[in-house]
Amino acid sequence: EKLFSGFSKTRENLAVVDELLLYWNLADTDRVLDELEEALLVSDFGPKISIKIVDSLRDDILAGKLKSGSEIKDALKRCVLELLTNKGSKTELQLGFRKPAVIMVVGVNGGGKTTSLGKLAHRLKKEGVKVLLAAGDTFRAAASEQLEIWAERTGSEIVVAEGEKAKAPSVLSQAVKRGKEQGYDVVLCDTSGRLHTNYSLMEELVSCKKAVAKVIPGAPNEILLVLDGTTGLNMLQQAREFNDVVGVTGFILTKLDGSARGGCVVSVVDELGIPVKFVGVGEGVDDLQPFDAEAFVNAIFP
């Protein structure tokens, strides 16, 4: 429901196409596909994906495979679903067998990183997972306190920086050591929010990753990039840069309850081949859902 309301703007953009498809006949093909391309572009699908979708529909229409407006609509949904599920890449967390599993959460400031980490802790705890939080955002003064509030809210233990000069890699390393010694299942690591253009902070992420791997070879198991769902195509650039520097294993898409821009998500998943693992649909503890590509597509193309 929240996802559906978040995509109202995208649906509005596509309404004209829906209308045309209701009364579609073969002679209308160019007009409908032009309108569709325009609507996809306005909805931030990006030129590459918009053209890819429209071309594939055109081919199928001209080959006589799609014979009605509703068949075209179904083909459109199938096409977007395929792009989003990206050849079956895993949308579930891959935590491996070694304990503790380590999840690092990264992203730009204000995207919803700390909130998502708290919501993820809540989710995992509900499943009976023993979770330790690591306050690795040592850059923003209030970040650690914000995470402490989430620790309290979710009944999780937390490791915070000792002393003002403590650096993120050492906080994460400490937390993972404690996780190992005290039998935790998962260590959830916050990191400093950063612009993807802030190269020294981006380098710090690499140090964080190395510090964690020193304690548990092969860790972190997951590096989840938080992407603000209300950002336009800039999301693609962010995802590229974080992936280049640190190697992203999955996305958490936040604020899909607001005025989300679903289109660019399709572009990001298609280009990078990295799956969306969770979506944020509000600020409460229960507002993090596993990504459901079908629900996502149905919310855009009902």
DSSP letter for 173, please: H
Residue matched to tokens 């429209």: 54
Q: Note whether 6 binds ligand GDP by CB under 6 A.
A: no
Q: How far is C-alpha 82 from the geometric centre of its chain's CA atoms?
A: 17
Q: What is the 3-state secondary structure (H, E, C) of 132-167?
A: EEECCCCCCCCHHHHHHHHHHHHCCEEECCCCCCCC
**Residue 83 three-state SS:** helix
- Rounded Cα distance between 238 and 296, Å, is 22
Q: Note whether 112 binds ligand GDP by CB under 6 A.
A: yes
- Rounded Cα distance between 134 and 66, Å, is 53
What mask, x for binding ligand GDP by CB under 6 A, covers residues 213 to 232? Answer: -------------x------
Shortest approach of ligand GDP to residue 253 CB, angstroms? 8
The answer to whether 172 and 215 have CB atoms below 8 angstroms apart is no
The answer to whether 134 and 190 have CB atoms below 8 angstroms apart is yes
DSSP notation for 229-259 = TT--THHHHHHHHHHHHH---EEEEE-TTSS
Taking CB under 6 A as the binding criterion, the range among 125-133, 160-168, 197-205, 274-282 that sits at the site for ligand GDP is: 274-282
Q: Measured from the CB atom, is 15 or 149 closer to ligand GDP?
A: 149
What mask, x for binding ligand GDP by CB under 6 A, covers residues 229 to 258? Answer: -------------------------xx-xx
Q: Measured from the CB atom, is 50 or 116 closer to ligand GDP?
A: 116
Using CB under 6 A, count the residues that bind ligand GDP. 19
Q: Note whether 114 binds ligand GDP by CB under 6 A.
A: yes
- Determine which residue in the list 107, 169, 179, 262 makes contact with ligand GDP, applying CB under 6 A: 107
Task: Count CB-CB contacts under 10 A for residue 265.
Answer: 27
Angstrom distances, CA of residue 245 to CA of 198, 208, 248, 261: 12, 12, 9, 25
Residues 16-35 that bind ligand GDP (CB under 6 A): none
Q: Note whether 204 binds ligand GDP by CB under 6 A.
A: no
What mask, x for binding ligand GDP by CB under 6 A, covers residues 280 to 299? Answer: xxxx---x------------
Q: Note whether 277 binds ligand GDP by CB under 6 A.
A: no
- Rounded Cα distance between 249 and 106, Å, is 11
Q: Note whether 110 binds ligand GDP by CB under 6 A.
A: yes
Taking CB under 6 A as the binding criterion, the range among 90-98, 160-168, 169-177, 279-287 that sits at the site for ligand GDP is: 279-287
Q: Measured from the CB atom, is 113 or 209 closer to ligand GDP?
A: 113
Shortest approach of ligand GDP to residue 153 CB, angstroms? 12
Q: Measured from the CB atom, is 107 or 220 closer to ligand GDP?
A: 107
Contact residues for ligand GDP (CB under 6 A)?
107, 109-115, 193, 226, 254-255, 257-258, 280-283, 287
